[in-house]
Chain A
Amino acid sequence: MIEITEHTRNVLLEVAKKKKIYVEGNFLKLLKAPPGDKEFETYLRICKEKDTANRRKRMDVAKDVQRQNKDLLIAAEENEQLTQDLQVALAEAESAKTEAEKLRDDAMEDLELLQQKTQFELVGTIVRIALGVIVGVGIFTTLMYGLAIITGQDTQIIGSTWSNMFGILLTNAFSIVGTIMGVKYATEK
């Protein structure tokens, strides 16, 4: 402990009185009032009270800042976690989108194949009917022509009709085959 001189004591009291400046910090713990000096004892008590109040205030502020820092750190960690989760979700969404696009493409391809199949079936039916009609007409005309020859009827008209009919039927048959080949080539492309 430090016992201060009369001069220092008076200076300290004067400064406190006129300028409201008090000794503070750990140095205060070393100061001791001379025995029986009530005025300086009071001065030291006020100094200590002010110092304690200031320190408590500073400590509370520092603790608040510490707490806020801790909260900010936790918030930053949470944000980081959220960002990571978002990135994962985004990657999953991207993957799901790619998968959906692939499924859509597959479905489109299947639909196209189905349409082509239907088209081919329709063409096949048309061809079968057309060929049936052609063969039927050919057989019918040939039978009529044959009957006319056998029965000794005049075959001039039926003969030319048969030959014209046959020419037309053959031409149409080749035309149908050509059309079918063309359609098949176009759809394959």
Chain B
Amino acid sequence: MINTLMLIDDENLFHLVFEDACSLLDMALSIEALDSSDEADSKFKEWFPDDINQERPECVFVDLNIIGSSMDGIEMIRKVNEDYGNGCVIGIISSSEDEEEIEKAKAVGAQFWIIKSDDIEPRLEEFMEDYDGYVNKTNPFKVYR
């Protein structure tokens, strides 16, 4: 089970769905849902380089297009990986299946891409089966359709 998980998504309704799905799948103990990548950026800035209270999440799910934020999911992943030490499992959760965007995400170090839909649980379940491989960086980039 993941101890701390962060979701960055502008759609508050999806926060509820995601939190409940994670809870039903016993996926995470603690979930922090943010609706802005700027807010997430401030938190990561605060945690880097010394995360004194160990608040930094183990795993981060970022939406691709985050309305009301100055950066999209790909830029957020680039910042986490390049500017804030690349210390967590991170990837995209989006309804988009744009191959160009998927390649961009891969290039900045995203480890997975989960396609958002009404039936998100099977994908999260599959993701959890692969999770250990993402933690020890042995799993290749994967798209969960």
Interface residues in chain A, defined as those with a beta carbon under 8 Å from any beta carbon in chain B: 25-26, 29-30, 51-52, 55-56, 58-59, 62-63, 65-67, 69
Q: Give the contacts of B2-44 with A (CB-CB under 8 A).
A: 11, 13-14, 16-17, 20-21, 23-24, 26, 28-31
| Contact residues in A for B1 (Cβ distance below 8 Å) | 29
| Contact residues in B for A56 (Cβ distance below 8 Å) | 20, 24
Q: How far is the CA of A26 from the CA of B1 in the complex (A)?
A: 12
Q: How far is the CA of A52 from the CA of B26 in the complex (A)?
A: 10
Main secondary structure of the interface of A (DSSP, over half): helix
| Contact residues in A for B126 (Cβ distance below 8 Å) | none
| Contact residues in A for B11 (Cβ distance below 8 Å) | 66
Q: How far is the CA of A26 from the CA of B28 in the complex (A)?
A: 8
| Contact residues in A for B16 (Cβ distance below 8 Å) | 58-59, 62
| Contact residues in B for A63 (Cβ distance below 8 Å) | 17, 118
Q: A26-B29, A26-B30 are in contact. Are A62 and B24 (CB under 8 A)?
A: no
Q: A26-B30, A30-B29, A63-B118 are in contact. Are A52 and B24 (CB under 8 A)?
A: yes
Say whether A59 contacts B29, CB under 8 Å. no
Mind listing 21 A-B residue pairs with CB under 8 Å? Answer: A25-B23, A26-B28, A29-B1, A29-B26, A29-B29, A30-B29, A52-B24, A55-B20, A55-B23, A56-B24, A58-B16, A59-B20, A59-B21, A62-B13, A62-B17, A62-B20, A63-B118, A65-B13, A66-B17, A66-B118, A67-B118
